[in-house]
Amino acid sequence: MQDLNRAFETPWKILNELLRWATYPRVRLKFALNGIEWRQGWRFYGMPIIQKHRHSWMSFGSGLRLRSSIRSNPLAPYHPVILSTRNKTSRLEVGVNFSMTGGTICTAETITVGNNVNVGSNSTLIDTDFHPLDPKVRHLSPQDGLSAPINICDDVFIGMNCVVLKGVTIGQGSVIGTGSVVASDVPPHVIAAGNPARLVRELPPRES
């Protein structure tokens, strides 16, 4: 009875679940066509965009939750979740219980995401500059920007409208404040925020 009352109090969630089940066959087909192994407990609210190089690697653990529909979250995504591997050697590896609303994960080299990571609405993880900084090089080879791996450790929470740039490691249990640009490493168990993101304060490590 309590669950029924809760459903009537939040009727938009009922519609979200109905739409999720309606989308399920198309989402599963899209992952299969891209050679991505399906895991248990995945939930998709709206269709993500997958741009996978045929010879690249893309893997997600169980409990994946991606919200691409504007109605699926009050912090409405600007666009569907985009998952992109740009080169044949690109690798995107995501652990269990990952969640993301809108936003983009784009890798030319390697992006590794640990377990129990949450990424807020409309944030971007990108391990490449795309375009060279030198205008002469950019004219000759416009796609040869520098790249460096990104590593997001377990239990990280990234707020909405953040950007995580190439070569960054975010330590276990850390929180990235809304609207931050993370251009350098963040140690474990801290809050970092700003542009560029800087240490705000330390957090107590979670007891095991």
CA atoms within 13 A on the CB side of 121: 12
Handedness of CA 33, 49, 114, 144 (dihedral sign): positive
Name the residue type at position 88: K
**Tell me, what DSSP letter sits at residue 145?**
-
For domain 2-202, the CATH superfamily is Hexapeptide repeat proteins (2.160.10.10)
Closest CA to 121 of 156, 80, 84: 80
Is the confidence at residue 1, as pLDDT, over 90?
no
- Euclidean distance between CA atoms 37 and 121, whole angstroms: 25
The CA–CA distances, whole Å, from 53 to 30, 106, 135 equal 14, 11, 27
What would the two tokens of residue 8 be? 């009537």
Express each pLDDT in 105-158 by its tens digit.
999 999 999 999 999 999 999 999 877 676 766 666 666 668 899 999 999 999
Express each pLDDT in 69-114 by its tens digit.
988 888 888 999 999 999 999 999 999 999 999 999 999 999 999 9
Active site residues: 131
Q: pTM (2 decimals)?
A: 0.90
DSSP element (H, E) containing 135: helix 135-140
According to DSSP, the β-strands at 91-94 and 110-113 are parallel
> Rounded mean pLDDT of 57-75?
93
What would the two tokens of residue 85 be? 């591997």
User: Contact at 8 Å (CB) between 177 and 200?
Assistant: yes
